[in-house]
Amino acid sequence: MSALQLAGYPHVIGTLWAINDRIAADIADNFYAALTEADTSRSAHALDHAIHTTRARFPDTPSLWAAHIHTGA
């Protein structure tokens, strides 16, 4: 994530550990759906929305949703 920010990307989303591919795809779908509803500078809010949606489905399994983080200004 740091390398992408050094390359000039102001907002980067990454994970802290290996993640489930199906859940990652669901989070990405929810993220982009929320992002298109607002401007792209609200990417942290879009990720928050996507994580909360997934957390509601799997509240007792944080390993499925807690790894995703946003860095940027």
Query: Which carries the bigger pLDDT value, residue 40 or residue 63?
Result: 63
Residues contacting 8, CB < 8 A, separation 6+: none
Judged against a pLDDT cut of 80, whether residue 38 lies above it is answered with no
User: In which region does residue 64 sit, left (phi positive, over 0), alpha (psi from -120 to 50) or beta (all else)?
Assistant: alpha
Judged against a pLDDT cut of 80, whether residue 48 lies above it is answered with yes
Per the CB < 8 A criterion, the answer to whether 51 and 68 are in contact is yes
| The predicted structure's pLDDT at residue 40 | 59
User: Taking the model in full, what pTM does it have?
Assistant: 0.84
Judged against a pLDDT cut of 70, whether residue 39 lies above it is answered with no
Of the listed ranges 8-12, 16-20, 49-53, 54-58, the one predicted with least confidence: 8-12
